[in-house]
Amino acid sequence: MPGRTRANGEGSIFPYRNGYAAYVWVTKPDGKRTRKYVYGKTREVVHDKWIKLHQQAKAGPVATRVPTVGDYLAYWLSDVVKPNLAPLTHATYDTLVRLYIAPGLGGKRLDRLQVRDVQSWINALATACQCCAQGKDARRAMPRCCAAGACCSNLPAASTLGDARKVLRSALSHAQKEELLSRNVATLVKLPAGRRRKGKAWSTEEARRFLESARRDRDPLYAAYVLVLVLGLRKGEVLGLTRDDVDLDAGELVIGRQLQRVRRELLHRETKTHASDATLPLPGICVTALRQRLADADAAKPTAGSAWQHTGLVFCTAFGTPVDPRNFNRSWDARCLKAGVRKITVHDARRTCGSLLADLDVHPRVAMTILRHARFSITMEIYTQVSSKSTREALKRLGDSLDG
């Protein structure tokens, strides 16, 4: 027919403003039917979009309104992460989204997010001073660096970049499940090359000096230090121990709860994974230290009087309240200074436990049980980083065997 402008089967493609438009009847995620439109400058462009939309409509539900990355992340955090993951995990994800992801990608429409967008965001984040970006110095009463015109170049660590991409990748993966996306572009992004921090560990002599210093000064956290170094307990697990978890007569310790600070709140909750739960035998040094700790706590009750709080925690303040994990870190650092040993973190002390087990030729599978690692590879990472003493001894034996 003269004047015809539509090809066969293209009845839903029509001129629109300065180009063309088309629609397809689709089923929304809520089960309702509606039209979804596509637009373009030329008929060919619209035709291609129209074909793809037909394919999507045949494959399953199609979202008619696509949120921005920022809006979707807000929904994902509140409706997916918060109800189903640990409070500390939600708080960590929320911080990464708020400080790093949303400022760079939040305004992008979710379905139009490209690999190059995410790659550019990662590249820019790696070279951006976070003191400037987050206005840290500007919030101080007396600016001393960035707000004063002397940028401190506070760049994010490689681990922070990895964590930010991990959170974005997880959110986009859920968007795929909700059929808002056809692919996860965050999985295709490269991170800047960087080296992970190598964990430190004490030698047997350093660990002994640290514990002797704490015992000599009657440090109220001496027993906690013993449990970290001898049994490899995590900080939260030590501070979350209750009297019911300790059986000194049987010489056993039950690990099933932890104490965590989540922003302004202390939570006494279950451990992160089932692999973390265990009943461990207590060596003599642990039994002696815990017996003294419980006796000291009982002696503190009359002094506190009505102010005493019956939390049932093994490690508590002079009033029975939980020991804040941040205060535990401060006490640990102060004890390192008093003992005259290298300063390492509490988590590095857990690594020290693994290293000392390796030096004692304890089988890695046994060490994995003691440290309660979820994967054997984690234990082997510690075992492959043997102490310099072991390295020297091994090389001496090798040299002796080759010396003619």
Three-state DSSP class for residue 177:
helix
Fill in the DSSP letter of residue 194. Answer: -
Q: Which pLDDT score is estimated for 365? A: 78
Each residue's pLDDT tens digit, 157-210: 898 999 999 999 999 999 988 877 878 999 999 988 766 666 688 888 999 999
pLDDT above 50 for 3: no
Q: Span 204-391: which CATH code?
A: 1.10.443.10
pLDDT above 70 for 7: no
pLDDT above 50 for 221: yes
Give the model's confidence band at 9: pLDDT under 50 very low, under 70 low, under 90 confident, else very high: very low
Q: Which pLDDT score is estimated for 81? A: 95
Q: What is the mean pLDDT of residues 299-321?
A: 91
pLDDT above 70 for 392: no
- Percentage of residues in the chain with pLDDT exceeding 70? 88
In sequence order, the β-bridge partners of residue 281 are: 252
Q: What's the predicted TM-score (pTM) here?
A: 0.73
Each residue's pLDDT tens digit, 359-380: 777 777 777 777 777 677 777 7
Per-chain mean pLDDT for the chain = 86
Q: What is the mean pLDDT of residues 8-17?
A: 72
Structural tokens at position 75: 């929904």
Q: Name which CATH class applies to 69-188.
A: mainly alpha
Q: Which pLDDT score is estimated for 355? A: 80
Structural tokens at position 245: 């978890």
Each residue's pLDDT tens digit, 27-83: 876 778 888 888 889 999 999 989 988 888 888 777 677 789 999 999 999 999 999
Q: Which pLDDT score is estimated for 195? A: 61
Each residue's pLDDT tens digit, 252-279: 999 888 999 988 889 888 877 666 677 8
Cβ-contact 204, 342 below 8 angstroms: no
* Residue ranges of the chain that CATH labels 1.10.150.130: 69-188
Each residue's pLDDT tens digit, 315-364: 999 999 999 999 999 999 999 999 999 999 998 888 888 888 877 777 77
Packed helices 325-339 and 346-359: angle between N→C axes, nearest 10 degrees? 60
Q: Which pLDDT score is estimated for 387? A: 55
pLDDT above 60 for 20: yes
Q: Which pLDDT score is estimated for 8? A: 47
Give the model's confidence band at 1: pLDDT under 50 very low, under 70 low, under 90 confident, else very high: very low
* Residue ranges of the chain that CATH labels 1.10.443.10: 204-391
- What is the C-alpha separation between 207 and 350, in angstroms, rounded? 11
Q: Which pLDDT score is estimated for 13? A: 87
- What is the C-alpha separation between 137 and 134, in angstroms, rounded? 9
CA 282, 389, 332, 351 dihedral sign is negative
Strand boundaries in 205-351, DSSP class E: 246-247, 252-255, 257-262, 265-270, 278-281
pLDDT above 50 for 218: yes
Cβ-contact 258, 236 below 8 angstroms: yes
Ranked by mean pLDDT, which of 8-22, 275-289, 338-352 comes out on top? 338-352
